[in-house]
Amino acid sequence: MPAIDPDLIPADLFPVIDALCATGAQLSAVIARGPLGQSLGAGVGENSDGDQQKALDVMADEMFEAALKPAGVRHYASEEQEVVLTLDAAGPYALAIDPLDGSSNIDVNVTIGTIFSIFDAVADPTASFLRPASEQIAAGYIAYGPQTLLAVTFGAGTLLYVLDPETGRFVLASEAMVLPVAAKEYSINASNRRHWTAPVLAYVEECEAGETGAKGKTMNFRWVGSLVAETHRILTRGGTFLYPSDARKGYEKGRLRMVYEVAPMAFLVEQAGGQATDGKTPILSLQAGALHERCPLVFGSAEEVARIAALHG
C-alpha cells in the first residue's frame, strides 16, 4: 500500500515521493512520542558547517538515506553530510534534503519539518545540485506539527497532502495552494535588528509604523524559528519571511542553505503565486557555487516581496 495518493504525482517520480512520505510518517510517529521515546534533542556532534547536530537530525538523515536508496535516487545531498552520496548508480534523480529543519524546536513541541529538492541527475554528483534553482523538477516539505502534512510542487502548482494517522497515508487536501497577494504578517528574527542592512531595517520600520505609516495598515509579527512552519503559515494565509544577510560574522549571506532550504522553498512558493528573492535577484535564477553555500532569503506575498525588492534598489 503506497504512503500517498498516487493520482496527481508524476509516475516516474512516484517511488521517490512515496519513499519520502513513508519515512515522513515514521518520523512523525517518533516525534509525536517525544520524551516517551529516546532523547531526540540531545546534542550528538557538529555537521560540516559547524552546526550542532541533534539526535533527531542524525536519525532522520539515516532514515531518508535508507528509504531513498531503492527509489531511483542516484545522488543524495544532505545538509547533515559533507559530500554527496551515491545511492543508486542507475537512478535518474539527484535529491537534496534538510532531513530535520528547525532543530532548535525539537525539544519544545513546536512544528519542525523536512525539506527536499529534486533535479534530474547529471554524471557529476555535486554538479547535479549546483544549477539554477529553476531547474528543479520537484520540491517540497513535510511539516510535523498538530497535523503532519506534505506540500509539494512538480512545476505545475503546489499540492497539499495531510497524513491520516488512522491509515498512515498522505491524503490530498488541496490541488492548488494559493498564496495571497497581500499580507498582514511579517517574519524576521528581530533579535538581529542591530546587524541588519538599511533596506531590511526600512522594511521592518514600515511594518511597525502600521496604519500611520506608508503601508496604511497594521502588520502583525510572527517568528517560530522553523522555516517549514513559517512557510506553511505564509502559504496558507499570506505574509513575508526574511532571513537576510547581516553584519554578523558568518551571516554575510544569511543563515539558510541555497541547496537544502532556499531553492526548494522558492520553487514551492512561486508555484503557489508568491515570490522569492535574495533582495535583488529572484531566487529561481540563482544557483549555489558550493554545496553548503548560504543565500539570503525573502519570500511571501507578491506585493510585499516587490516592496522589499524596491527598498533594496
By CB under 6 A, tell whether 255 contacts ligand FBP. yes
Long-range (24+ apart) CB contacts under 8 A made by 279-283 are 279/199, 279/244, 279/245, 279/308, 279/309, 279/312, 280/309, 280/312, 280/313, 283/133
Q: Rank residues 15 and 238 by Cβ distance to ligand FBP and give the closer one.
A: 238
Residue numbers belonging to the annotated binding site for Mg(2+) = 79, 98, 100-101, 261
Other C-beta atoms closer than 10 Å to the C-beta of 106 total 22
Q: Rank residues 9 and 53 by Cβ distance to ligand FBP and give the closer one.
A: 53
Amino acid identity, residue 18?
D
Out of 18, 61, 101, 206, name the contact with ligand FBP by CB under 6 A. 101
User: How far, in Å, CA of 113 to CA of 27, rounded?
Assistant: 10
Out of 87, 227, 268, 295, name the contact with ligand FBP by CB under 6 A. 227
Out of 15, 24, 99, 102, name the contact with ligand FBP by CB under 6 A. 102
Q: Rank residues 18 and 101 by Cβ distance to ligand FBP and give the closer one.
A: 101
User: How far, in Å, CA of 83 to CA of 37, rounded?
Assistant: 30
Rounded to a whole number of angstroms, the minimum distance from the CB of residue 112 to ligand FBP is 8
Per-residue x/- track, 149-178, ligand FBP (CB under 6 A): ------------------------------
Out of 226, 240, 271, 277, name the contact with ligand FBP by CB under 6 A. 226
User: How far, in Å, CA of 176 to CA of 8, rounded?
Assistant: 11
Rounded to a whole number of angstroms, the minimum distance from the CB of residue 231 to ligand FBP is 9
Which residue, 26, 33, 193, is CA-closest to 99? 26
By CB under 6 A, tell whether 103 contacts ligand FBP. yes
Residue nearest to ligand FBP (CB): 227
User: How far, in Å, CA of 300 to CA of 207, rounded?
Assistant: 15
Q: Total residues at the site for ligand FBP (CB under 6 A)?
A: 12
Out of 189, 220, 281, 285, name the contact with ligand FBP by CB under 6 A. 189
List residues bridging with 120 in a β-sheet.
93
In the chain, DSSP assigns E strands to: 43-46, 52-54, 73-78, 85-86, 93-101, 112-120, 138-144, 148-153, 158-164, 169-174, 185-187, 220-221, 240-243, 275-277, 297-300
Residue numbers belonging to the annotated binding site for substrate = 101-104, 189
- Show contacts with ligand FBP in window 35-64 (CB under 6 A): 51
Rounded to a whole number of angstroms, the minimum distance from the CB of residue 252 to ligand FBP is 14
Residue numbers of the site for ligand FBP (CB under 6 A)?
51, 98, 101-104, 189, 225-227, 243, 255
